[in-house]
């Protein structure tokens, strides 16, 4: 999985007005925490953060907070309800010797039998939550739909990959092929 470096500046707990002043100066308050790690409060620039959140990809993040480097994953983001600007970001500490749980984007490949017969491919999920060691995590999960017929679907329980485990519920629908009105009318005419 791709790694990205994000530079941050340490901050202290202050009043609400201090946090608002940070946001006005295009800085986003963040916190880094995890099991066996001291909680660290810091800020990152809005421009650097947008490169992480405005993409469908998932990354392992190397946080550089005042020269101290730590590995993390993006855990949660709070957005402003009107402007959609990030208000606060949580980063979860990870270690290279322990499995990581992260959302990985899906890539649909192949030309479905059902689509060739006049059906429509409906993609229901864009990401799946997986668990695995950092070195084994893929940039994306390929899903082959070549054998998918009209009325059939692929669920998370149908997928298997080497060295990673799918954590999303097994009943999560990835994609399906549905019959279109034109295909239904042609089948009725026959």
Q: Over the stretch 20-76, which tens digit does the pLDDT of each residue have?
A: 888 888 888 889 988 888 888 899 988 888 888 888 888 889 988 888 888 998 888
| Whether residue 126 is found in the same domain as residue 57 | no
| Whether residue 55 is found in the same domain as residue 14 | yes
- Provide the residue range defining the domain that includes 50: 3-95
Give CA–CA dist 80/86, Å, rounded.
6
pLDDT at position 48: 87
| Whether residue 62 is found in the same domain as residue 128 | no
Q: How many domains does the chain have?
A: 2
How many helices (H) and strands (E) the chain has is answered by 4, 13
Q: Yes or no: say if 187 and 172 are a contact pair by the CB < 8 Å rule.
A: no
Q: Which position has the higher pLDDT, 155 or 18?
A: 155
| Whether residue 39 is found in the same domain as residue 7 | yes
Q: Which of 35, 63, 95 is the last residue of a domain?
A: 95
User: φ and ψ at 148, to 5 degrees?
Assistant: -80, 120
């Amino acid at each position: 999985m791709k790694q990205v470096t994000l530079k941050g500046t340490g901050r202290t707990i202050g009043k609400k007005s201090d946090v608002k002043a940070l946001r006005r100066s295009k800085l986003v308050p963040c916190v880094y925490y995890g099991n066996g790690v001291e909680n660290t409060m810091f800020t990152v620039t809005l421009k650097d953060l947008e490169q992480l959140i405005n993409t469908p990809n998932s990354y392992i993040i190397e946080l550089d907070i005042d020269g101290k480097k730590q590995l993390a994953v993006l855990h949660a983001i709070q957005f402003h309800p009107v402007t959609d600007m990030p208000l606060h970001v949580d980063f979860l500490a990870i270690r290279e010797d322990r499995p990581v749980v992260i959302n990985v984007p899906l890539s649909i490949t192949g030309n479905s039998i059902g689509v060739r017969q006049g059906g429509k491919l409906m993609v229901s999920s864009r990401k799946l939550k997986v668990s695995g060691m950092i070195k084994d995590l893929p940039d994306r999960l390929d899903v082959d739909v070549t054998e998918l017929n009209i009325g059939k679907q692929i669920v998370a329980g149908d997928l298997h990959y080497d060295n990673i485990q799918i954590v999303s519920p097994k009943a999560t629908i990835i994609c399906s092929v549905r019959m279109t009105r034109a295909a239904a009318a042609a089948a009725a005419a026959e």
